[in-house]
Structure 1
């Protein structure tokens, strides 16, 4: 079965067509409603990468990528909230610790929705969140700069770094509690709707049975490399959505030319994402990632240009997609990705 023919892809497309895309402009201005996340929970998409024995679909990576493209192109804010959920699910599926039995089933079914609070560990040797072993568990102190889905999520995957450079990943309830305080929702240039806050941790205590992984920082950095250097399906989703806006404006020739180039970069990027050694060919991954950024930027810019002054209306899809594209340029960014992208932009200017 091809990814496009998989039932979950059809489910995602129906959700996008019937709910997400028609309401994307309103959500962009007002915020992701709980009703959107309830629809995502009911859809079965939250368990697409979970093992079947835990109620998931066990879908292969090409299906997961296709689903993420569809959702991002329909409503990037809703996509961003739900995409956080899949990392905890995948991590639990690989874990052999007791927390797997407690949480994997509820997360796979959509009974629980999870977010992530661990991107800050990529800042090492700077340590924004410190994890300290105590008699019956762990204490977390510091600041989580970004946490998305506050008020929508039930659980969060939190990470801190120990004095011995070990990263501790543990689950916590996604609510204010002793040792955890959330900021006011951030006002962002794009995706304010996704309810992003910062979290202040001052002695948040979690029991040992909440831990899902403990790993040396160097090992985590190696495992995290493909996540940060592979092209994001969301980038392709937003780019294709912009091309549809361009086509609707009558600019079919421009859309056709950009689509052909985008299709080819997408094919190459996904072929490389499926390479059996995920931390190899980093330079090629980065080149395709930055190329995908270039084409997304070209597609969203073309949609704005074709729509003229009308696109300055905040409800026009072209400018929303352009802002969402700007967000995706820095989402999940690491120093390696930033350097590669800036070097590419410098080469373009010199050429």
Structure 2
């Protein structure tokens, strides 16, 4: 029997996201789409049941991610930001948890994130300065912030001069000390309403602080995560194979059958490494499987364009959108280790 959230994700994908995917890609993810995401319950997939979430198994979260990414990667990526703040708040400081976690768990509110710049340490793109009373001041530049105008709260990360990482929750709106750029124009996922943020004396009170920890401790847990295969890669691949199946072309359908067998094998291998091997171990194996998943995504999205011919290049055609979304996923969350392994695999 399938988990109720998997059924909810299918309804959301088929009824709302897939029909609007090309419009979201061109014009931006809509508030109506986000309202549908909130109403579906998927925002609470990994949230504690005590706060209104589902506390679902990790396998359910991965399946939901595959379904949403395959339907509309732009909407998927906006909501994907939500789950890290939920996890950190669940384990974080009491005051921030009690103030923010319930609406994020029950789907009332959507969260964004601004912390990928922490991976540049010891550079400090965003410097956090402790204030008297326990609050924080942030100064610097956030290069990427997804979901501007759609998120209700966001998780902001910074590093102190003393080598401590700090996270705090705040409201994502123009305010003293916080200024967004114009929306960034990108080759793919421009519809995610991604901006940069300029922080100039942006302050948060003590009850907004979620976690403080040494940078080395945070990085030790963060670095291995991106060696795992992203479920969104598998979702976009599957969506491209579905296009091949629907093409009415025997060669396209045969190609889909071959690639689908390879996809199922990669999926099993990727998730076995996550479920059965302790985090931080077998990193080389994880990177090998991750690059195999990239190869399959590239093959599947290319095949969808080839099967569609010239029509596949129109902005109303899903094949070209999936191909561009695939390009985005090649570098989303990329670390030096991932980039090196991928380039080595491409060299053969």
Q: For this structure pair, what is the TM-score category when the shorter chain's length is used for normalisation? A: over 0.9
Kept in 2, the 8 Å contact 1:97–1:211? The answer is no
5+ long unaligned stretches in structure 1: none
SS of equivalent residue, structure 1 residue 98? helix
TM-score by length of 2: 0.97
Residue 248 of structure 1, aligned match among 246, 249, 252: 246
> Which residue of 2 is the match for residue 320 of structure 1?
321
> Which residue of 2 is the match for residue 185 of structure 1?
183
Output the CA distance in 2 between the equivalents of 1:144 and 1:108: 26
SS of equivalent residue, structure 2 residue 276? coil
> Which residue of 2 is the match for residue 149 of structure 1?
147
Structure 1 residue 215 displacement after superposition = 1.3
Output the CA distance in 1 between the equivalents of 2:112 and 2:217: 23
> Which residue of 1 is the match for residue 224 of structure 2?
226
Residue 24 of structure 1, aligned match among 21, 26, 33: 21
Output the CA distance in 2 between the equivalents of 1:135 and 1:216: 20
Output the CA distance in 2 between the equivalents of 1:73 and 1:33: 18
Output the CA distance in 2 between the equivalents of 1:126 and 1:252: 50
Show CA shifts across 1:309-333 (max 9, x none): 1111111111100000000001111
> Which residue of 2 is the match for residue 38 of structure 1?
35
Please, which moves more after superposition, 199-208 or 245-254?
245-254
Is residue 64 of structure 2 the alignment partner of residue 67 of structure 1? yes
Output the CA distance in 2 between the equivalents of 1:113 and 1:22: 22
TM-score by length of 1: 0.96
Residue 84 of structure 2, aligned match among 84, 87, 97: 87
> Which residue of 1 is the match for residue 3 of structure 2?
6
Show CA shifts across 1:174-217 (max 9, x none): 11111000000011100000000000000001111111111111
Structure 1 residue 34 displacement after superposition = 0.2
Is residue 275 of structure 2 the alignment partner of residue 266 of structure 1? no
**How do 1:190-229 residues align onto structure 2 when only pairs under 5 Å count?**
190-229=188-227
Kept in 2, the 8 Å contact 1:99–1:210? The answer is yes
Structure 1 residue 30 displacement after superposition = 1.1
Kindly report the root-mean-square deviation, in angstroms, between the aligned alpha carbons of the 2 structures.
0.9
Kept in 1, the 8 Å contact 2:259–2:296? The answer is yes
Output the CA distance in 1 between the equivalents of 2:94 and 2:140: 26
Output the CA distance in 2 between the equivalents of 1:283 and 1:42: 40
Aligned residues: 344
Structure 1 residue 292 displacement after superposition = 0.5
Is residue 167 of structure 2 the alignment partner of residue 166 of structure 1? no
Structure 1 residue 276 displacement after superposition = 5.0
Kept in 1, the 8 Å contact 2:165–2:215? The answer is yes
Kept in 1, the 8 Å contact 2:93–2:211? The answer is no
Kept in 2, the 8 Å contact 1:32–1:77? The answer is yes
Output the CA distance in 1 between the equivalents of 2:118 and 2:276: 26
> Which residue of 1 is the match for residue 45 of structure 2?
48
Residue 107 of structure 2, aligned match among 101, 107, 110: 110
Output the CA distance in 1 between the equivalents of 2:330 and 2:127: 28
Kept in 1, the 8 Å contact 2:233–2:329? The answer is yes
Structure 1 residue 96 displacement after superposition = 4.2
**How do 1:299-314 residues align onto structure 2 when only pairs under 5 Å count?**
299-314=300-315
Kept in 1, the 8 Å contact 2:18–2:72? The answer is yes
**How do 1:274-285 residues align onto structure 2 when only pairs under 5 Å count?**
274-285=275-286
Kept in 1, the 8 Å contact 2:301–2:322? The answer is yes
SS of equivalent residue, structure 1 residue 213? strand
Output the CA distance in 2 between the equivalents of 1:128 and 1:223: 20
Structure 1 residue 275 displacement after superposition = 3.2
5+ long unaligned stretches in structure 2: none
SS of equivalent residue, structure 1 residue 204? strand
